[in-house]
Amino acid sequence: MSLSSGDRTQKSNTKPHTGATALANTTWLASQQRKAAHQPFQPRPLKMVANMEGKITGARAPLTSRQAVGNTPVKKPEQVEKKVTRAPSLTSLRVRDEKKYTSAQATARHVEPQFDLGHYDGGLERDENKGRRDTTSKAKVDSDTLAMDSSLNGLNHQPTKQWSLAQFEIGRPLGKGKFGRVYLARTKPTSGTQAPQQGYVVALKCVYKKELIENKVDLQLRREIEIQMNLRHPNVLRMFGYFHDHGRIFMMLEFAGRGELFKILSKLPNRRFDEATAARYIAQIADALQYLHSKHIIHRDIKPENLLVGIRGEVKIADFGWSVHAPGNRRATLCGTLDYLPPEMVEGKTHSVAVDLWAMGVLTYEFLEGVPPFEELSGASMTYKRIAAVDLHVPSHFSEEAKDLVRSLLRYNPAERLPLSKVLRHPWIARHDPQAATRAARFTLEHD
């Protein structure tokens, strides 16, 4: 699907001319302006560069006579003739050509590749029918259902703009889940202007109201939106906004250009990162979790599938479906992923932010070994038993510093797990990410 119009260029050969020839050239230019006045405006293609928030900046070519006709009246030939007094000198022509050549060289060096949204597969239309089927069921959804009102005290964040699907150019699908899909999308240029305004590339997540209600996860989605809309951290996936129609809810998420960390890990030999890469990722995740915990938010589902990688290689925590805002309270809900559950959840006890510390230990182990530490192919019951007993066997190929960090996080007693501030200062992290300790110190000063 093409999202930008082609660019039209004009070539001219510049030579010294007599006054009569220069006058003829000027008359020809005026005739071209008259023709251009009757041609529809075609925007030049944007040279796309995605920044951390998905914003697109366009390097535009200089305004041409064809683009300027909407604001500047075309002069008649006789009006132009009165201004032509002499032909340009050889010196002025040479200087002008040198400037044009230098400018063209600079532009060629800095032109960014076109940002391609990819091919839209039409899933939104098909899924819209799916979302509206069987209107006689008990789970009938009307237009007021899931209006996304606030459900958490202190986290109310109303949308700042009314959005609709018509305001987006839809690109290739990025993923598909139980309740919907995620598409690469871009906001359309602002209407009523002669040149398109800057657009925003986002990951547009579409979920279906009926399926949410049938599976009793509608309140979970409300909580996810309320939490994620209020988070601002470079290692937390940003949610820019949301909107909904009769059968669907759309979430405008930051586009992480390199995709799921799980897929990156799966393509590596033995599904392992080297220790330097693993340490840098763990430091960024610890930094983000420290921020979340300062907001009294427990993620509760840290795992490779819920971590995305940005275009610059930075990791971002995503999927806040199991997250909870719990200031001063302990939780008792059994949630998350089996291999990452801590002993207190397995045993049905209450839990706190320490569940994220346990998950950090499991994640570190999986980054370096390729599998979670308590995984049992014989069945879930054996995995539960190993977790409850903290039956941990650290491979010999781990460095001593890595072994120490894993053992410091995978402690049965939640109070004994290494706090995030000390994770960022741990020797294993410090060796591979020297700036982590500085970030931890700055965070402590800001929140003391």
DSSP 30-65: HHHHHHHTTSPP-PPPP---B-TT-BB---PPPPPH
Exactly one of 301, 339, 356, 433 is catalytic; which is it?
A: 301
Q: Is the pTM of this model over 0.85?
A: no
How open is the CA angle 48-229-233, to the nearest 5 degrees? 65
Q: Is 448 a catalytic residue?
A: no
Nearest to 83 by CA among 22, 130, 126: 22
Q: Is 178 annotated as a binding residue?
A: yes
Walk along the chain (448 residues) in steps of 10 and give the mean pLDDT of each run: 39 44 49 48 34 35 33 40 45 48 45 55 51 35 33 42 86 86 88 59 93 89 92 95 92 94 93 96 96 93 94 94 69 65 90 94 97 89 93 96 98 96 95 85 63
256 is in an annotated binding site: yes
Using the 8-state DSSP alphabet, how is residue 179 labeled? S
Query: In this predicted structure, what is the pLDDT of residue 79?
Result: 43
Instruction: Look at residue 426 in the predicted model and tell me its pLDDT.
Output: 96
**Distance of alpha carbon 216 from alpha carbon 208, whole angstroms:** 12
For the record, the structure tokens of 225 come out as 């939106």
Question: What is the dihedral angle through the alpha carbons of 32, 36, 38, 39, rounded to the nearest 10 degrees?
Answer: 140
Q: What confidence score (pLDDT) does residue 122 get?
A: 57
Euclidean distance between CA atoms 70 and 294, whole angstroms: 54
* Contact by Cβ (8 Å): 3, 56: no
The residue whose two tokens read 């089927």 is 133
User: What pLDDT does 294 receive?
Assistant: 93
Which residue, 42, 17, 44, is CA-closest to 28? 17
Query: For residue 338, what pLDDT is reported?
Result: 85
Half-sphere exposure of 286 (CA within 13 A, CB side): 32
Query: Per the annotation, does 263 bind a ligand?
Result: no
- The set of residues, in sequence order, having a beta carbon less than 8 Å from that of 290 and lying 6+ positions away, is 420, 421, 424, 440, 443
Strands (E) across 120-260 are located at 168-176, 180-187, 201-208, 239-244, 248-254, 259-260
45 neighbors 35 (Cβ within 8 angstroms): no
* Nearest to 397, CA basis, from 305, 274, 299, 248: 274
Alpha-carbon distance of 413 to 410, in angstroms, equals: 9
Per-residue confidence (pLDDT) for residue 81, from 0 to 100:
41
Q: Which of 61, 179, 54, 205 is nearest to 115 (CA)?
A: 54
CA 87 → CA 24, 52, 383, 385, 427, distances in Å? Answer: 11, 51, 88, 92, 74
- pLDDT score recorded for residue 377: 83
SS3 label, residue 410: coil
- The predicted pLDDT at position 441 comes to 72
Contact 3, 117 (CB under 8 A): yes
Is 254 marked as binding a ligand?
yes
Helices 400-409, 354-369: crossing angle, 10 deg rounding: 150
pLDDT at residue 71, as a whole number? 39
